[in-house]
Amino acid sequence: MSWEPGETQLIPASQRRILSVTIPTLLFMSLFANSAAAAVAIDANVSTNQATAKTTVASPAFSTTAGNELLLAFVSTDYLSGANTQVSSVAGGGLTWVLVVRANGQSGTSEIWRAFSSSPLSAATVTATL
């Protein structure tokens, strides 16, 4: 799967925006716009970094204030030998998470996962399983 900046085939037209971030181990963002012409606002932004190897990584709890939001999980891993690591699933918030893009041409992986929430979330966490 390849992705080019500005390519929006996986995001509905009413929620298309360009986003640029630095990718830590797990960064979660919730974006919303009150209308298709409105500017994008970041509703929640949490991140975590693990110092030891584990098969899962979870975000801190977060809440959102609006419905009809695009939620993004940015996951990166390190890996020094053997088969390359990748995320097998992302879960949380009672949402359906879908892989948008994966890049792992070198040791480790960087991935973006997305979900849509029709209502605000309260004390939700997102977990990536490797």
Which pLDDT band holds residue 100 (cuts at 50, 70, 90)?
A: very high
In a domain, 76, yes or no: yes
Q: Total structural domains in the chain? A: 1
Asked if 70 and 14 count as a contact pair (C-beta separation under 8 A), the reply is no
Which pLDDT band holds residue 20 (cuts at 50, 70, 90)?
A: very low
In a domain, 14, yes or no: no
Give pTM, 2 decimals. 0.71
Asked if 31 and 19 count as a contact pair (C-beta separation under 8 A), the reply is yes
In a domain, 122, yes or no: yes
Is residue 103 over pLDDT 70? Answer: yes
In a domain, 40, yes or no: yes
In a domain, 39, yes or no: yes
In a domain, 93, yes or no: yes
Asked if 70 and 114 count as a contact pair (C-beta separation under 8 A), the reply is yes
pLDDT at 97: 94
What average pLDDT does this structure show over 65-88? Answer: 79
In a domain, 121, yes or no: yes
In a domain, 79, yes or no: yes
Range of the domain at 118: 25-48+55-129
